[in-house]
Amino acid sequence: MLLANDNSLFVNKKLDCCTVGRFAPSPTGALHTGSLVAAVGSYLMAKHRGGRWLLRLDDLDAPRQVPGMAEDIMRTLELFGLQWDGEVTRQSRHVEEYQRYFKLLQHAGVVYPCGCSRKEIARSTSAPHIGDEGIPYPGTCRVGIKTALAIRSWRVQVPEEEICFSDLRMGCISQVLPVSCGDFVVRRGDGEFAYQLAVVVDDYLSGVNQVVRGEDLLSSTPRQIYLQRLLGFPQPNYCHLPLVTGPDGAKLSKRDSLLSPHVSTGTGREQVLLLAVLRFLGLNPPQELTGAACHAILQWGVIHFTALQLPVQGGTITI
């Protein structure tokens, strides 16, 4: 439910003319080859346009973080010649900003408290079908939470309309939020802010106008676009990269194909893997790059990268 004539609740700001991309890993485990594809893809696309490439650590989920993993991630990126611009930012330092924008949503009347558990949502006979991420929330508490219930989350009301955007690799994408997810969570009952709100605020604060990430995050993009519209934030350009899979065709997990210098047996073969990543992204690096330093390989990739060459499907990376 959009409440202003310009389709936003708050004052819209123009995108910076300079391309600003980012890589935003979570320090809950070491980077793997799928992470490297996302990092390299976002780096090449930003730098190809003469832009900046930022590093953000999505560290809101404190219980799942691994001590020392943030530093491990940064060291791994450096091993592959990936150097970020400016200081590393962390979600944990933006809590006051999340609170600020959450209150704006509250004051606008588009969020409400919810007392439903996951089991109760799963048992709901009014839930029409299984969506992209389970049973869409049926709106049980939209008209008011029962007095006896504790607040388990805060949800944002979603409109009965399509959210559409153009993905640089996948073309036109549309989603009807009530069908795919229903009113979604922006804050948990314990006070912690949900990923969907945090990432939207983070990108806005950093001036990110180009989001390049894995295809597994495609289904969450319409929710983020809806929040951007509510808050009057400019919408970034999106490109969702093909996924790296294991031999069984499944998406890589946090335990697969790890790249950390502390656990990987592939340390010292960064150049070989980097060339394989370029080929995975649709590029054809020349034989002369074999044995070249990572920064030289990346420099070639920056010059020759184009989203038009990205493959339709993902697959395995072998070296």
Each residue of 125-181: pLDDT tens digit?
Answer: 554 555 555 789 999 999 998 877 899 999 999 999 999 999 999 999 999 999 999
Domain 110-195 class in CATH: alpha beta
Between CA 185 and CA 137 the distance in angstroms is 10
Structure confidence at residue 70 (pLDDT): 94
What is the β-pairing status of strands 89-90 and 52-57?
A: parallel
**Rounded average pLDDT over 205-226:** 97
Judged by average pLDDT, the poorest of 33-42, 68-77, 88-97, 254-263 is 254-263
259 against 124, higher pLDDT:
259
20-95+202-309 fold: Rossmann fold (3.40.50)
319 against 310, higher pLDDT:
310
Structure confidence at residue 250 (pLDDT): 72
Read off the amino acid at residue 307: A
pLDDT surpasses 80 at 119:
yes
Read off the amino acid at residue 173: I
Spell out the long-range contacts of 102-106 with Cβ–Cβ below 8 A and sequence spacing 24 or more: 102/154, 102/186, 102/187, 102/193, 102/197, 104/9, 104/10, 104/231, 105/9, 105/156, 105/186, 105/230, 105/231
**Rounded average pLDDT over 216-232:** 97
Buried b (16+ CB within 10 A) or exposed e, 236-256: bbbbbbbbbbeeeeeebeeee
76 against 15, higher pLDDT:
76
Structure confidence at residue 257 (pLDDT): 57
Structure confidence at residue 256 (pLDDT): 54
Average pLDDT of the chain is: 88
pTM: 0.89
pLDDT range class, residue 124, cuts 50, 70, 90 = low
51 against 317, higher pLDDT:
51
pLDDT range class, residue 65, cuts 50, 70, 90 = confident
Axis crossing angle, helix 270-280 with helix 33-48, rounded to the nearest 10: 70
| Domain limits, CATH 3.40.50.620, in the chain | 20-95+202-309, 110-195
Judged by average pLDDT, the poorest of 50-64, 133-147, 276-290 is 133-147
Detail the DSSP E strand segments found in 140-244.
153-156, 162-167, 171-176, 184-188, 210-214, 237-241
Q: pLDDT per residue over 76-100, tens digit each? A: 999 999 999 999 999 999 999 999 9
Between CA 95 and CA 198 the distance in angstroms is 9
Judged by average pLDDT, the poorest of 42-46, 110-114, 315-319 is 315-319
Read off the amino acid at residue 121: I
Judged by average pLDDT, the poorest of 29-43, 139-153, 165-179, 248-262 is 248-262
pLDDT range class, residue 255, cuts 50, 70, 90 = low
pLDDT surpasses 90 at 39:
yes
- 37 — phi, psi (to 5°)? -60, -45
